[in-house]
Structure 1
């Protein structure tokens, strides 16, 4: 979602990845070479790679500062395993925002689904940034 004007951060703000993510053997091997894991499976942490495009949509929107956003918590719920060859779609929604002592804390709920709209994973993340860093 490219825009000339920043988007205001608000609950319900939703981003969709611009294009589907196709899981390749090479991507899985690259992650596995870093973290290890069974040769015939996709590591559960691969969800973070799948979500990177939709997270970039949020970052590029201007709704959050381009620097200084800290990821403080994450909960991943897998509905099914990711497999090489899967074509996945991602959506990220701002689910809550709190402001306190000059900090903005917000939660996102991201979903990963297959081409046939079957759920793969839900990822709930909490992030924080200094309110003074917002222009």
Structure 2
């Protein structure tokens, strides 16, 4: 069964606050093959807010009872209001921007507003998620009509 259209416009609670520290940036850079930097202030890559966006996406999936194993990540973009800085304390709030069904798959557009501890915008992370239906949804594991 396709996801309900009434998800569009729905927002989910913000993520737990995330402190941007040199250690966390170095861990991210090491995991992604980025510049770990030898100084006190490592380079913060433009994809760093995915840490928060992923937490927000997981909370959305849990709230809607959608299994992560049924999601294919189709697209990810970041639009910055200002750079992420060491010392920032950030949260992300996900809103469902669109839902449509194509060939039995739900195409979900999300937008996660990343803000600092004073509520000022840092960036917006948008993503396209493809939800593959499974057992009990009227399609078999390959997405063919049952």
Q: TM-score, normalised by structure 2?
A: 0.77
Cα 1:134–1:77 change in 2 (3 A) is farther
Give CA deviations for 1:68-124 in whole Å, capped at 9, x if unaligned.
200111111111111121111210000100012211101001110111121111111
Structure 2: unaligned runs, 5 residues or longer: 138-146
Number of residue pairs the alignment of both structures matches? 129
Q: Is the CA contact (8 Å cut-off) linking 2:106 and 2:130 kept in structure 1?
A: yes
**Helix, strand or coil for the counterpart of 2:49?**
helix
Which residue, 124, 128, 131 being the options, matches 1:129?
Answer: 131
Q: TM-score, normalised by structure 1?
A: 0.83
**Higher strand proportion:** 1
Give 1:28-107 correspondences, 5 Å limit: 28-34=25-31, 35-37=33-35, 39=37, 40=41, 41-107=43-109
Structure 1 residue runs of 4+, over 4 Å off? none
Greater Cα radius of gyration, structure 1 or 2: 2
Cα 1:20–1:102 change in 2 (3 A) is same
Which residue, 15, 21, 25 being the options, matches 2:22?
Answer: 25
**Helix, strand or coil for the counterpart of 1:94?**
strand
How far the C-alpha of 1:19 sits from its partner, in A, is: 2.0
